[in-house]
Amino acid sequence: MTDLTTLSIADAGRLMARGEITSSALTDAFLKRIEAVDHKIASFITVTADVARAAARQADMEMKGGVRRGPMHGIPFALKDIYETAGIRTTGHSHLKSDYVPVIDAETVRRLKDAGGVLLGKVGTHEFANGAMTPDQPFPAVLNPWNTKHQPGGSSSGSGAAVAAALCMGAMGSDTGGSIRNPAGYCGTAGIKPTYGLVSRCGIFPLAFSLDTAGPLAWTVEDCALMLDVLAGHDPNDQGSAKTAKVDYGAACHRPIKGMRIALARSWYEGKDSVTADMKKGIDEAVRVLKDLGAEVEDVVFPDIWDYHICGRVIITTEAHAIHRQDVIATPEKFGYTTRRRFQLGAFISAEQYLSTLRFRRQLTLDTRACMRGYDLVMTANHWGAPETFEEPQPIFHFLGKPSLTMPFNVTGQPAATVCCGFGSDGFPLSFQLAGHAFDEASVFAAGAAYERATSFRSKRPSL
């Protein structure tokens, strides 16, 4: 019998629609696996077993009565613990919010519930999506399911680890400088940072207002698309929310990609700083597969990766300080030391420097758009190589090392997805990014899903 916890969202949905499995059976399988396995990786902060079973029973009754709410109906999912949940604590992985219980759901949570989704619980994150997993925080660090001596990437660490370990079918993350795509890459899942403004952030703890995006991680690109079908849409309570036409992202995953033109940003990952030999080989092979599927892939030189990295870091540091300044002054002891220092750094950036950075961001966006002229997508590496091990003390200002490969698409606001392209000799996943023009998630999904169908990497899971 098929292990229910390794089904894709798409497959589980088809089986439930035909009455071959129930949401209750699916939910129980995940709850049992969480109980049996999660102590090895500590991905969950709060498990909502009773809530999940009640939602699953409701979904079963509705489907038995002929009601089908959509692709997430009866599907078990998890939430990064910065998403507010009515009656369920939302901690931000911080002492400051360890007992906080919201009275209403975040808009994204409401949409997932309205679509019939089954909430399994809340998963770990870097503190307020900006700190690090350190011993001075209230919950254990999330571990990488491929090798528990290594980090899973952040800040949506619990989301990536839980999906990879088959503890949920999909999980919500947030992405301000790569916090969906980093754990997706290190944990070997798919994940998408949608276009800025496509998905509501109302009810999600903020980090940097002008960069924050919310989006899903799942085992396949198609599953991410099915989740985004539920999540996308204007929210008048989010000042950054955009009004856009409805798109069927699930259907987009089955579009042919013959004739699609992809710009390969090779200079970002093979310059002065270079990805590992395994990563380079994996991406080169992925390029070959996409070409075999009919896409045209050509090297294109974009602005220097460091320009995007520095621009994004200044904006994040300045805006995060503005958001957390009062709490850092009033109760500094409630923050992890690393988190506190990162927030405090923003106090040393002047208004002139911040405004100059915003102008530079505009120029980078225009230059990127010019480089993409005539191309549908950008392709580049997702991360440099294997994730870091857990060592204390962890570097406070980690961003002073290599530039972030994910930051360019936060700066420009474009949609960008992580796609697994194999495994290195060290056993860790290899991944590339596909980024599209603003609000063209459909092309991103089409290429990513076509690549997954043409390869076998979705058949391999970590052993726990």
Interval 15-65: pLDDT, tens: 999 999 999 999 999 999 999 999 999 999 999 999 999 999 999 999 999
Residues 6 or more apart in contact with residue 309 via CB below 8 angstroms: 399, 403, 404, 407
CATH code at position 125? 3.90.1300.10
Give how many domains the chain has, as a whole number. 1
Angle CA 322–327–358, to nearest 5: 10
Residue with tokens 């001596």: 149
158 pLDDT exceeds 50?
Answer: yes
pLDDT digits (tens, 9 = 90+) for 420-455: 999 999 999 999 999 999 999 999 999 999 999 999
How far apart CA 32 and CA 317 sit, in angstroms, is 41
Please, what is the average pLDDT of the chain?
97
- 274 catalytic, yes or no? no
Outline where DSSP puts E strands in 107-189: 118-123, 170-175
Residues 6 or more apart in contact with residue 414 via CB below 8 angstroms: 195, 368, 378, 435, 436, 437, 438
pLDDT digits (tens, 9 = 90+) for 124-141: 999 999 988 889 999 999
pLDDT digits (tens, 9 = 90+) for 292-319: 999 999 999 999 999 999 999 999 999 9
Out of 23, 80, 97, 159, pick the active-site residue.
Answer: 80
10 pLDDT exceeds 90?
Answer: yes
How far apart CA 444 and CA 252 sit, in angstroms, is 9
pLDDT at 193: 98
Full residue range of the structural domain in which residue 138 is found: 4-459
CB 216 within 8 A of CB 170: yes
Question: Is residue 464 domain-resident?
Answer: no
Comparison of pLDDT for 132 and 194, the residue scoring more = 194
Question: Is residue 392 domain-resident?
Answer: yes
CB 48 within 8 A of CB 121: yes
Out of 23, 155, 200, 404, pick the active-site residue.
Answer: 155
1 pLDDT exceeds 70?
Answer: no
pLDDT band at 272 (very low <50, low <70, confident <90, very high): confident
**Average pLDDT of the residues in 85-113:** 98
- 179 catalytic, yes or no? yes
How far apart CA 346 and CA 365 sit, in angstroms, is 23
- What is the SS3 assignment for 449? helix
pLDDT digits (tens, 9 = 90+) for 374-423: 999 999 999 999 999 988 677 777 777 899 999 999 999 999 999 999 99
How far apart CA 49 and CA 30 sit, in angstroms, is 10
6 pLDDT exceeds 50?
Answer: yes
- 425 catalytic, yes or no? no
Among residues of the chain, what percentage have pLDDT more than 70?
99
How far apart CA 172 and CA 109 sit, in angstroms, is 9
CB 364 within 8 A of CB 412: yes
pLDDT band at 281 (very low <50, low <70, confident <90, very high): very high
How far apart CA 55 and CA 31 sit, in angstroms, is 13
How distant is the alpha carbon of residue 161 from its chain centre? 11
Out of 179, 200, 241, 404, pick the active-site residue.
Answer: 179
Angle CA 181–125–34, to nearest 5: 95
Question: Is residue 32 domain-resident?
Answer: yes
pLDDT at 394: 73
CB 180 within 8 A of CB 217: yes
For the chain, how big is the Rg over CA atoms in Å? 20
Structure tokens at 175: 């992405």
Q: What is the pTM of this model?
A: 0.97
